Structure 1
């Protein structure tokens, strides 16, 4: 990175006291060492959001969000890291330096700026066509007949494209937009040697990014014409897999409800908002993606999929559930009755009826199980076997063994087969996912447990010691290399601290926040929120020794339990590998007893 830009970042950070910055968004109250507020990232009545002025970081004990001043601005403004730096630079009246950019970089940036400008002008034009033209009156009536009020029309900047081949191009040319800019933004296209507008005689739905900038458009016919929907193609500022329609207007409601409702199309989302269900977003008819899941995970921990109730919609929901679970989201799926889509249901039955569907929505994994059962002939043994085989991948996505076992019991009851048979198949398939057959699956550690375990506390306290006293690390590197940290995030933090060598506390903290993703920053803040240690050098070593022993004991205990389960499974199968597993179990139990006693 250019040294001038690094110096600029340092200047911005030094000029951006985190308490002053956050106080511009929420009301802070000083209590003791920290400043407190109700968290702006999730709804709460009792303040659990604290800001440490001395160490310049924030942390919420409710939703476990944390980081430095750059992290806060990124989250609150839904911006990128470079955009957050520019925001803070503007606040501090610090000029943004000219960095070394290639000619291609300059052209790309200018092209993006032009697209934002062109799309904004087009949005204003379509809105004027809806409100101020005679053909637009029919489009306005179309919206009103669908229960979309003037307030909702304004909220979503809805519009109308005139029944003319070049009305948009003609009007935007008068605003200084070139034909090349309009074509690049996907608003006009060449056909038979001449250019014509892409959207003709359609109601227009602007697609915006989370910051409210228009990045694309969708157009819908008002009759039975085809294609029913027409969308802007992907551009430098618009990629379907990274865009959720309506997120800009739904953000506040999602945070307050701690839940997002995901539908397939923008008309579904608009209809839900028109009915007063303001936490709805749409995946724009494209498959729900990992990028969508990560985008939502920044603002909520729970999602409800409300896809169409036809088979295509249910199949898409099955896939989407797995993606959302992988991103760490809590997932439910509602079933829209009578084969309707959310738009048709909410217009006919109203808000309360739809909210009842949300309350009674199936858990995501339960939905996957029920759907898979419905697609197999489970009246026959072969169908049951195939059904179990198809469902096991969904069970492997569970956060804990306990959760997987609950679903196995549910599945056994639904299929009327022995629970132990499903469990055996599950463990066999899970074990085979790991190379060599010597490792067994370990349940991922939940990142949001309300009460931290003794192991979690030990790992966090040890990392806080390493933050403060990096000279301690060398004494425990060998042991930690064997045991590792149970949490992948804390393991990553440990490795980054090691790479920084003997850097001072401030340098380590800033390096971690600058390089970390959202989850890493939150865990770093959670560690830093712990109380400092008051002890001499010998005392610090003794404290660290206790935490390392806790980690080592847990590592050996987990290994013992894993091999004991394998021994049980092999015993039930009359598999000779049973004896090998018993031998390993005895060796591990001996180590635990020798090191820690009974």
Structure 2
């Protein structure tokens, strides 16, 4: 990052009053050093959301979300870091430094803005045709038949393209938009006799980016002719992978509920909004993308996919689960009964019935497993082996060994296969494929002293935040023991990196961390460090880290020994010897163990 950017960021950070900003979104009351309110990121009645102006941070003791003022704006507004900075800069009258742009970049930006203007004017023309002309009566009747009210038409800026080859080109031409501009926007095409309207005799549905700018259109026929939908071709400003239809309307409901319902098409989303279900967006087809998952992660914790119940929709749901889970979202799959799509179901059965479908949605990995079983042949051993092989990639995506173990247990029951055999195949696949967690034993439970161990880790890091020079004294022990979570490990690593450059500040550390680690850092900063000599405290916490490490190792090898013994594996004795060695080590260092 260049100096101008860093200066701008620090200027905004210094000017922004975190209490003033957050209180414009959340009612806060002062109690002690903190200001308290109900968390805007999860539903609660008793305030557990704290804002500390001295440390310039917020932290929720309920959902453990936390960070600085930039993180809050990103979460509450569903925007990226740069947009959060610009929003705060505008609030405090701080000019945004302009990046030096090339002539080509300036021209491209002008073209993009002109496209937005063209699309906006076209949308007004289409809506006028729908609401104010006789031509639009058939389209209005069609929409009314699908439960689409005038209010929903206004919310989504729905319009109608008349059955004419030149109505839009002529009308926008009179308003100063050339035919070539309409062609660039995807609204017109060039034929032998000149330019003509691309959309004719269709209900026109504007597609907007999260800022509400119209980037394209979807046109739906009023009858059974084909193609049913005609969409704007993809361009630099209209990329389906980076858009979710309805996000400009749904983001507040998604942010409030922390849940997004994802459907396939425009009309599914519009019908659900018309029924009073506000946290719905459409992926505009069945190809859910990583960019869309990242967009949702900014404002939601859970996604519920409600694609069509046909084979294509189910296959797409299987793929979507993996993509959403990779982004850190919880995932469930809702199956619409009777093979109906969401639009048809909600129109026939109403909001409450549809919300019951959402409430009964299946956990994502369970859906992947069940769908894979249904597509296979589990009437014989060879078929079961193939099914397990196809399910293993989904198990390897699990975030913890405990989660994978539970799925393996249920899969073994479903296929009437020995659980240990599936677990062994899972370990082989993890080792071969280099799974992120590289699990050794899928039956590993949470250790009894996990809370005490993590508390020591967090207090250790709290001491280092106050005295970062002491980090050097921890390197050897931490290098051997590690931390219990990747977030705490990242905090330690980044702290050491900054300290090595003699550049450590808490703000710089926070800026260097990923989202989850920022929340963990905020939680650490809420801890009260016991009074006493910092070096002695450090030694005590390092000692606890070592003990927790040895106890983890003991549990891992003990459970492996148990599993090998059950399966008559000769490695049983090796693991038994290792558990005794670790037990002796713990006893030597800390006294009697178990």
TM (normalized to structure 1)?
0.91
Match of 1:217 in 2: 217
The corresponding residue for 1:526 is 523
- Aligned-residue Cα RMSD (Å) equals 2.8
* Match status 1:549 vs 2:549: no
Q: Does the 8 Å contact 2:286/2:316 carry over to 1? A: no
Q: Deviations over 1:290-346 (max 9, x none)?
A: 222222222222221111111111111111112222222222212212221111111
Distance 2:176 2:577 in 1: 80
Corresponding residue pairs, total: 589
* Counterpart among 585, 588, 595 of residue 589 in structure 2: 595
Deviations 1:543-579 (A, max 9, x none): 2222222222223333333344444455555555445
Aligned equivalents of 1:155 and 1:453: distance in 2? 49
Cα distance, 1:220 vs structure 2: 0.9
Deviation at 1:7, TM superposition (A): 2.4
Moved more, 468-477 or 417-426: 417-426
Q: Tell me, in whole angstroms, the C-alpha distance in 1 between the residues paired with 2:418 and 2:500.
A: 57
Separation in structure 2 between the aligned mates of residue 5 and residue 91 of structure 1, nearest angstrom: 18
In structure 1, C-alpha distance between the alignment counterparts of 2:377 and 2:365, rounded to whole Å: 20
Gaps of 5+ in 2: none
Whole-angstrom CA distance in 1 between matches of 2:399 and 2:280: 26
| CA spacing shift, 1:291–1:527, aligned 2, 3 Å | farther
Conserved 8 A contact 2:115-2:181: yes
Cα distance per residue 1:32-51 (max 9 Å; x no partner): 11112222233332222221
Question: Helix, strand or coil: the match of 1:147?
Answer: coil
- Tell me if 1:455 matches 2:453: yes
> 1:148 and 1:281 mapped to 2: Cα distance?
16
> Does residue 126 of structure 2 align to residue 126 of structure 1?
yes
Match of 2:553 among 546, 559, 562: 559
Is the Cα–Cα contact under 8 Å of residues 262 and 307 in structure 2 kept in the other structure?
A: yes
Distance 1:238 1:588 in 2: 59
The offset of 1:589, in angstroms, is 3.2
Question: Equivalences for 1:187-586 in 2 at 5 Å?
Answer: 187-192=187-192, 194-434=194-434, 440=440, 453-501=451-499, 508-535=505-532, 539-571=533-565, 575-586=569-580
**In the TM superposition, what whole-angstrom CA distance separates every residue of 1:137-169 from its partner, at most 9, and x where no partner exists?**
211111110011111111211111222223323
TM-superposed deviation, 1:273: 1.2
Conservation of the 8 A alpha-carbon contact between 2:219 and 2:229: yes
User: 2:123 touches 2:159 (CA, 8 Å); kept in 1?
Assistant: yes
Comparing 168-177 with 241-250, greater Cα deviation is found at 168-177
Contact 2:163 2:200 in 1 (8 A): yes
- Work out the CA distance in 1 between the residues paired with 2:457 and 2:194: 66
Cα distance, 1:502 vs structure 2: 6.9
Change (3 A) 1:456 1:248: farther
1:29 is aligned to 29
SS in 2 for 1:350: helix
